Amino acid sequence: MILIQRQPVEPMRNLKISIVSLLLILIATLQVNAQVVKTPNNDAVVVTNSNVPQRGMTKAQVESYFGQPNSQQGPVGIPAIYRWDYGNYSVFFENNHVIHAVAH
């Protein structure tokens, strides 16, 4: 008669708990930024990180990543505020850096 010795279940269970815990910590630390904007006709538009320039980007970075704007306004005031209009959003700059991106 051949006896087969079973591996203890406990180490595998501990590994699964560790992996699940690590995944939960990773998910909890992910930063998800989205903003819901109401338009004048009460439509909701969700603006996420991936589809508009982010705060702190330079004009050169915005133009490189998102292309030429449809129109540009500014400077206005002190500090100089500029607005670049794209199809469905506008980007506001203070001097050379993005301060806001607003969906139309």
Maximum CA extent, the chain: 92
Encode pLDDT of 61-98 as tens digits: 999 999 999 999 999 999 999 999 998 899 999 999 99
- Greater confidence (20 vs 58) lies with 58
d(CA 38, CA 99): 20
DSSP-assigned beta bridge partners for residue 44 = 38
- Greater confidence (91 vs 21) lies with 91
Question: In order of start, what are the domains of the chain with their CATH numbers?
Answer: 33-103 (3.30.1450)
Instruction: For 26-36, give one letter per residue: b (16+ CB within 10 A) or e.
Output: eeeeeeeeeee
pLDDT score, position 66: 92
Overall pTM > 0.85: no
26 pLDDT above the threshold of 60: no
What is the enclosing helix (H) or strand (E) of 53?
none
pLDDT score, position 98: 95
Q: How many CB atoms sit inside 10 A of residue 67's CB?
A: 9
Helices (H), ranges, 30-67:
59-66
Residue 14: C-alpha distances to residues 18, 21, 23, 87 (Å): 6, 10, 14, 52
36 pLDDT above the threshold of 90: no
- Greater confidence (55 vs 7) lies with 55
**Spacing of C-alpha 27 from chain mean position:** 15
